[in-house]
């Protein structure tokens, strides 16, 4: 028995003493043998049905279609010449299937984070930091959501050691569904956690906007008619003015003559009415009247009823024009209270969505086949299905195997790391046995499912409720 073993699961090549673990805590020296410290994980439709030889169990054996071997806890293929840790042979509906199971060591990986909020997190392309270290940037906003791009090879390996370590730790925590506090240069602080509401500058968001200002008018114009003479929906992107808008014209509403600031796009739609911020509709205003440029006395009238509201309904104010055509605050009528509540009712809950994105490169593919490009082509053509921890992934078109996985769809603690720094993520390739052999697959390493269950004695878990089981 050797007192020291060398771990070849990543390029660090830790020398591990007896009963100790390596730098990543994933591998240890157990009785002089290099051992993966976490158990192999299988996904089961009913985890309580998974039993192993020698256990007190009188029920029927679990069927192959009810269990799926994931790469969580499986180990890696580094260095390149090693076949995948597990190449599983099963029979599903009379078809011999192969699942190649491996944990990939990814330097080329990161996260795409969708944050449902209209709050201004920071200007596009602004750096995102953890503990002062840059780990990503703000990217193009999407409808009702701010978007971040975190991690990636340049932050992991292209900067200082401290930057790489901070990036790896933050991305690992987010991928494992843990909260991370981020700061944006020139913007806000935000706590992000997968499938939880974002907390922006200490305030938890509750709603995702129903639409832009123009869309909000299009949705609710008919419900406002007869109860308000003008409605202005304040929005950082497209502020809507009801009586100018096509929806107001369709309803034959009388022009109200209230002109808002900003750049007029099309009738009733205004850009740049204010700067981005934490106020009404994602702008920097606290007083909605600040966006009114003028009131046309030829069109407006005393007693005109004006509703100003945000795209989530969280901000709303009711005004009535006095004899000098100045908006005066007034008590909101019940019908308008109900209309504002309807906006909130139609907003979805604010959530953070975290997608892991990586490129599955050479050594990982070599663990599946002696001719890696054939695996790439099988994935691109759809003959080989890719999963991550048993969860479905989206494979980008074009060259390589570049995929994205929703971490909320994966089992908890699916990801690990190595101190190079890089993330360790589970990946599985499933295809018919005949196709696998045609790829030049490692036929001699194929093992029946029952043998793997008996030897590895894995832990069995369920997928999150909304995740489709990998075996149909």
Question: What are the tens digits of pLDDT across the range 212-240?
Answer: 999 999 999 999 999 999 999 999 999 99
pLDDT of 402-445, one tens digit each? Answer: 999 999 999 999 999 999 899 999 999 999 999 999 999 999 99
Q: What SS3 class is residue 5?
A: strand
> Phi and psi dihedrals of 270, rounded to 5?
-125, 135
C-alpha 390/C-alpha 76 separation (Å) is 17
Instruction: Dig out the tokens for 276 from the structure.
Output: 């981005």
Strand, helix or coil for residue 102? strand
Mean pLDDT of all residues in 15-24 = 90
What is the rounded distance in angstroms from the CA atom of residue 272 to the CA atom of residue 293?
13
Q: What is the pLDDT of residue 145?
A: 95
Average pLDDT of the chain, as a whole number: 93
H or E element: which one contains 340? Answer: helix 334-345
List, for residues 264-291, the tens digit of each pLDDT value. Answer: 999 999 999 999 998 999 999 999 999 9
Residue 56's pLDDT band (cuts 50, 70, 90): low
Residue 59 has pLDDT above 60, yes or no: no
List pLDDT tens digits, range 85-138.
999 999 988 899 999 999 999 999 999 999 999 889 999 999 999 999 999 999
> Residue 373: helix, strand or coil by DSSP?
helix
Rounded CA gap, 446 and 431, in Å? 13
Cα–Cα distances (Å) from 205 to 143, 196, 274, 327, 374, in that order, read 16, 10, 21, 30, 47
Query: What pLDDT, on a 0 to 100 scale, did the predictor assign at position 58?
Result: 47
Question: Is residue 61 scored above 70 in pLDDT?
Answer: no
Distances (CA, A) of 327 to 17, 230, 360, 385: 78, 12, 60, 61
pLDDT band at 362 (very low <50, low <70, confident <90, very high): confident
**Long-range contact set of residues 224-229: C-beta below 8 Å, sequence gap at least 24:** 224/307, 224/336, 224/339, 225/251, 225/253, 227/305, 227/333, 227/335, 227/336, 227/339, 228/305, 228/306, 228/307, 228/336, 228/339, 229/253, 229/254, 229/256, 229/304, 229/305, 229/306
Q: Are strands 199-200 and 189-192 parallel, antiparallel or unpaired?
A: antiparallel
pLDDT of 136-151, one tens digit each? 999 999 998 999 999 9
For residue 383, give every residue at least 6 positions away whose Cβ sits within 8 Å of its Cβ, in sequence order, or none.
431, 432, 435
CA 344 to CA 360: how far, in whole Å? 42
> Per-residue pLDDT tens for 167-206?
999 999 999 999 999 999 999 999 999 999 999 999 999 9
- Give the residue ranges of DSSP H helices in 96-136: none
Whether residue 52 is predicted with pLDDT greater than 70 in this model: the reply is no
Percent of the chain's residues with pLDDT above 70: 97
The per-residue pLDDT for range 366-399, each reduced to its tens digit, is: 999 999 999 999 999 999 999 999 999 999 999 9
In whole angstroms, what is the distance from residue 197 CA to residue 214 CA? 25
The residue ranges of every structural domain in the chain are 38-107+361-389+423-461, 109-208, 213-345
- Which run of H or of E encompasses 213? helix 213-224
């Amino acid at each position: 028995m050797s007192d020291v073993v060398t771990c070849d699961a990543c390029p660090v090549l830790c020398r591990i003493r007896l009963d100790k673990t390596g730098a990543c805590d994933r591998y240890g020296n157990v009785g002089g043998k290099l051992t993966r410290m976490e158990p192999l994980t299988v996904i089961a439709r009913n985890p309580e049905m998974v039993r192993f030889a020698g256990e007190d169990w009188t029920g029927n054996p679990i069927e192959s279609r009810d269990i799926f071997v994931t790469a969580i806890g499986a180990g890696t293929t580094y260095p390149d010449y090693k076949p995948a840790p597990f190449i599983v042979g099963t029979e599903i509906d009379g078809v011999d299937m192969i699942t190649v199971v491996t944990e990939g060591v990814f330097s080329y990986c990161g996260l795409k984070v969708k944050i449902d909020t209209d709050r201004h997190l920071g200007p596009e392309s602004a750096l995102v930091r953890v503990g002062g270290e840059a780990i990503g940037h703000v990217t193009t906003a999407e409808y009702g959501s701010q978007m971040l791009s975190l991690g990636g090879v340049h932050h992991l390996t292209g900067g200082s050691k401290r930057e790489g370590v901070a990036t790896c730790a933050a991305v690992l925590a987010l991928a494992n569904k843990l909260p991370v506090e981020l700061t944006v240069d020139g913007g806000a602080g935000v706590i992000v956690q997968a499938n939880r509401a974002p907390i922006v500058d200490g305030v938890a968001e509750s709603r995702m906007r129903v639409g832009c200002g123009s869309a909000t008018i299009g949705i609710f114009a008919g419900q406002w008619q007869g109860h308000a003479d003008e409605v202005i929906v304040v929005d950082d992107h497209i502020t809507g003015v009801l009586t100018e808008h096509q929806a107001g014209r369709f309803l034959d509403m009388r022009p109200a003559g209230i002109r808002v600031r900003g750049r007029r796009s099309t009738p009733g739609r205004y850009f740049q009415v204010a700067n981005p911020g934490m106020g009404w509709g994602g702008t920097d205003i606290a007083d909605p009247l600040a966006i009114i440029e003028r009131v046309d006395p030829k069109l407006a009238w005393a007693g005109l009823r004006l509703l100003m509201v945000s795209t989530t309904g969280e901000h709303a104010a009711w005004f009535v024009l006095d004899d000098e055509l100045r908006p005066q605050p007034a008590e909101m009528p019940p019908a308008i209270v109900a209309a504002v509540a309807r906006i909130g009712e139609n907003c979805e809950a604010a959530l953070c969505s975290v997608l892991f994105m990586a490129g599955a490169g050479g050594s990982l593919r070599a663990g599946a086949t002696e001719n890696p490009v054939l695996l790439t082509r099988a994935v691109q053509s759809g003959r080989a299905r890719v999963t991550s921890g048993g969860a479905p992934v989206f494979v980008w078109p074009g060259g390589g195997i570049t995929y994205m996985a929703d971490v909320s769809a994966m089992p908890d603690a699916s990801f690990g790391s190595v101190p190079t720094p890089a993330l360790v993520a589970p990946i599985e390739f499933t295809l018919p046995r005949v196709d696998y052999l045609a790829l030049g697959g490692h036929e001699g390493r194929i093992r029946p499912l029952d043998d793997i269950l008996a030897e590895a004695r894995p832990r069995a878990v369920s997928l999150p409720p909304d995740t489709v089981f990998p075996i149909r």
